[in-house]
């Protein structure tokens, strides 16, 4: 079967629909996304393989997903460390950071130093973009208060370059940072040649997933049958209490475990 994905235009419309007729708040969607990411990390790298997890968070909602994932990972008995150099002044993100502070989760500004002492990395710097060449707009309010165009701004180029060069397994949230939603990996810039170990697509796979060949998970066990039908989504059946399902990287179909 062909790998079916959700286009950039449809992804924007779907996010808006989830927050309108779907009656979800952005807090709920972020919590569900972060929970999915944490379960994928647990599946990929259980605590018995090493408890140190470095979560790299950008200033938008992708970073918020990472903050939520860090909280869940702490409760799973990991030792998360958060790289969050451009902390948002948005009240929602501040609450997420406070929750981590209350748990004693450390924040670091030395990404490359922290990378040397970790067993797994979560790339939650930038998610899916509706524009090529790193142009980020207000993606259905998923990047509220943050936009840029042109090259990736400091301090993130060095972090993305380090992600590309590390031998530590990397799990990217919704998109490998610097990838374009439609065309996949960039042909230039710090993200050129960056292929993470795993990808967690949120709600539905985006076109960039066709360029990805690592382990691929889908998180988004909250879409109603009506909305799925409206957007022609072929969502797999989730098992038990799982919030994620692993997909075949070639076909996008659920893997039979």
Residue ranges of the binding site = 61-65, 123, 174, 177
Sign of CA dihedral 124, 19, 40, 95: positive
* Residue 82: DSSP 8-state: E
| Greatest CA separation for the chain | 47
Q: Which of 225, 235, 178, 203 is nearest to 16 (CA)?
A: 203
Q: Sort 68 into a burial class: Cβ within 10 Å, 0-12 / 13-18 / 19+.
A: buried
Binding-site annotation, residues for (6S)-NADPHX: 61-65, 174
| Burial call 69-103: b when 16+ CB within 10 Å, e when fewer | bbbbbbebebbbbbbbbeebebebbeebbeebeee
Q: Name every residue whose Cβ is closer than 8 Å to that of residue 235 and which is 6 or more positions away in sequence.
A: 204, 218, 220, 223, 228
Query: CA-CA distance, 123 to 174, in Å (whole number)?
Result: 9
Q: Name every residue whose Cβ is closer than 8 Å to that of residue 93 and which is 6 or more positions away in sequence.
A: 63, 64, 67, 87
Binding-site annotation, residues for K(+): 62, 123, 177
Query: What is the β-pairing status of strands 215-219 and 244-247?
Result: antiparallel
Q: How many CB atoms lie within 10 A of CB 106?
A: 11
Query: CA-CA distance, 118 to 145, in Å (whole number)?
Result: 31
């Amino acid at each position: 079967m062909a790998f079916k994905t959700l286009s950039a235009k449809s992804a924007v419309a779907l996010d808006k629909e989830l927050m309108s007729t779907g009656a979800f708040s952005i807090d709920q969607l972020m919590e569900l996304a972060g929970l999915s990411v944490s379960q994928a990390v647990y599946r990929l790298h259980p605590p018995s393989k090493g408890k140190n997890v470095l979560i790299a968070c950008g200033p938008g909602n992708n970073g918020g997903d990472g903050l939520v994932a860090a909280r869940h990972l702490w409760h799973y008995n990991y030792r998360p460390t958060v790289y969050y150099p451009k902390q948002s002044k948005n009240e929602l993100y501040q609450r997420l950071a406070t929750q981590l502070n209350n748990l004693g989760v450390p924040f670091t500004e030395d990404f490359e130093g922290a990378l040397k002492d970790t067993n797994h990395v979560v790339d939650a710097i930038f998610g899916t973009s509706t524009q090529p060449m790193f142009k980020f707009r207000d993606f259905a309010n998923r990047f509220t208060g943050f936009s840029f165009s042109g090259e990736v701004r400091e301090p993130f180029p060095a972090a993305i370059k380090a992600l590309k060069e590390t031998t530590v397994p990397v799990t990217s949230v919704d998109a490998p940072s610097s990838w374009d939603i439609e065309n996949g990996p960039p042909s230039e810039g710090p993200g050129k040649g960056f292929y993470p170990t795993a990808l967690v697509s949120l709600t539905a796979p985006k076109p960039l997933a066709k360029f990805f060949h690592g382990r691929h998970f889908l998180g988004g066990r909250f879409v109603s049958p009506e909305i799925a039908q409206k957007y022609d989504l072929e969502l797999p059946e989730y098992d038990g209490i799982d919030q994620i399902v692993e997909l075949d990287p070639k076909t996008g179909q659920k893997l039979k475990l």
